[in-house]
Amino acid sequence: MKASEALASRRSVRAFLERPVDQALIRRVIAQAARSPSGGNLQPWHIYALTGAPLAELKRTMDLRTAGLAGAESTEYDIYPKQLGSPYRERRFAVGEALYASMGIQRDDREARLRWFSRNFRFFDAPMALFCFVDRAMGPPQWSDLGMYLQSLMLLLREEGIDSCPQECWALYPRTIAGLVGAPGELMLFTGMAIGYADLEHPVNRFPSERAPSNEFATFLGFDAGSDNRTAQAATTGDKP
Ligand SMILES: Cc1cc2nc3c(=O)[nH]c(=O)nc-3n(C[C@H](O)[C@H](O)[C@H](O)COP(=O)(O)O)c2cc1C
């Protein structure tokens, strides 16, 4: 699989088959993804991967904690800016609406939305999962390094036909998760990730997530006018040129 194919075929998968994931393969891609770049080669990622009994126990604990989200803890970082302005607010809204619409869940059906949201805390029934932590001493540049690591991992998984969903909703339960996986106090939980084989029949895995065209986020200086072609625009939106 080419890098472009891995990238194009990655999407956030939120319904998985029961099919198990090969443990040796996961160990390998977790190691391989560390070829990602990081400023000063700090390699600031700390990964806790779970399957089998520890994962089942975590899901059981979370079932009890998340009933109605009553047991949410205070987050250790802001998942989104407190004032999410345009165009980010609209983008967040659009993907949320597309997700719920794919399953026929109405905007005003708060209960159904919450019920769906709580499936995050079962890793959408994925057979494999991981948490990514970062040392509390690290700042924004190192947090961006985590993103590089996680994207490498997700692309390597695609090469193996495996799907994933990064899940920062786990930041709502930082103390519970640190306790369950045994992470030391100097580490802060960034995100979880569900890993497994996609249930391609499930509608939640079938809605498109939009991207803004590149002329909305990139500025090209010294480029020929003729280089702005439909192929470049289609590459960001995912449309056929
Ligand atoms: C760091 C990070 C955290 C995310 N957290 C969640 C999450 O908690 N729950 C969820 O359903 N999706 C989560 N997502 C998935 C995003 O909603 C998704 O990447 C975005 O809508 C684009 O869709 P795509 O990944 O299918 O291309 C997260 C993505 C990232 C990169």
Q: Which one-letter amino acid corresponds to residue 212?
A: A
Q: What is the mean pLDDT of residues 214-219?
A: 94
Q: Is 56 helix (H, G, I), strand (E, B) or coil?
A: helix
Query: Of the residues 167, 191, 207, 237, which should be mutated to test ligand 1's pocket, given the most ligand atoms within 8 Å of the CB?
Result: 167
Distance of alpha carbon 241 from the chain centroid: 28
**Is pLDDT above 70 for 69?**
no
Please give the distance, rounded to the nearest whole angstrom, from the Cα atom of residue 198 to the centre of ligand 1. Answer: 15
The tokens describing 18, both together, are 């029961």
Decide: 73 and 174 in contact? Cβ < 8 Å: yes
Percentage of the chain with pLDDT > 90? 88
Give the model's pLDDT for residue 64. Answer: 84
Q: Which of 74, 189, 204, 60 is nearest to 130 (CA)?
A: 189
**Is pLDDT above 90 for 237?**
no
pLDDT digits (tens, 9 = 90+) for 16-67: 999 999 999 999 999 999 999 999 999 999 999 999 999 999 999 998 887 7
Q: Is the dihedral of CA 132, 190, 174, 166 positive or negative?
A: negative
Give the model's pLDDT for residue 241. Answer: 46
Question: In the block, which residue shows the tokens 């302005």?
Answer: 85
CA–CA distance, 5 with 59 (Å, rounded to integer): 33
For atom 2 of ligand 1, the residue with the nearest CA is 166
pLDDT digits (tens, 9 = 90+) for 173-195: 999 999 999 999 999 999 999 99
The tokens describing 168, both together, are 């920062």
Q: What is the mean pLDDT of residues 147-152?
A: 98
The CB of 158 under 6 Å from ligand 1? The reply is: no
- DSSP class of 82: S
Cα dist. 178→79, 88, 150, 241 in Å?
18, 30, 19, 46
Confidence of residue 125 (pLDDT cuts 50, 70, 90): very high
Decide: 135 and 76 in contact? Cβ < 8 Å: no
List, in order of start, the domains of the chain with CATH numbers. Answer: 3-210 (3.40.109.10)
Give the model's pLDDT for residue 235. Answer: 72
pLDDT digits (tens, 9 = 90+) for 78-113: 999 999 999 999 999 999 999 999 999 999 999 999
Distance of alpha carbon 207 from the chain centroid: 16
